[in-house]
Amino acid sequence: MQRFTDDGDISVTGSFAAVRLAPVAAPALLVAYARDAETTATAFGLLPSDRGANVVLLRPFDEVMWERPMVADGICYVSPSQVAADCLTGNGRMPSEGEALVTWMVENEAEWRTPSVKDVTPVEERRDAS
């Protein structure tokens, strides 16, 4: 069975990412960014659905989705700030999860925030490394 891994092609966001840091309720909808949604859907055996879906694959509009991910147990999650933005603009109970995550972020800044702009690798160096 295929897994969500830290290979950089799939990154979890939304409720499943938020619940790790600021639990509100058990997540019901898995939302993930995928570089290639069709290939990912096939690899996981996902079927298209017009309603009642429990997995949503998003095509990122920008490479920022892959910046500063958090990896836990081999699963790649978008950065907490991106999770918060995605939840706050989501539907259902996602905005409440986003608010809880923002509260967690304020109270636990050292756990997710880069201490200094000096610690950020310049884009040119990141491109050269890949």
Residue 22: alpha-carbon gap to chain centroid:
14
Pull the structure tokens for residue 85. Answer: 């933005």
Closest among 46, 28, 27, 26 to 36, alpha carbons compared: 46
Q: Are strands 70-72 and 55-58 parallel, antiparallel or unpaired?
A: unpaired
pLDDT score of 1:
36
Q: Is the pLDDT of residue 126 over 70?
A: no
Q: H helices within the chain, ranges in order? A: 14-21, 37-44, 80-88, 94-107, 109-112, 123-129
What predicted TM-score, i.e. pTM, was given to this entire model? 0.80
Q: If you search the block for the tokens 């923002």, which residue do you land on?
A: 102
pLDDT digits (tens, 9 = 90+) for 71-115: 898 899 999 999 999 999 998 999 999 999 999 999 999 888 876
pLDDT digits (tens, 9 = 90+) for 18-56: 999 999 989 999 999 999 999 999 999 999 998 888 999
Residue 94: alpha-carbon gap to chain centroid:
13
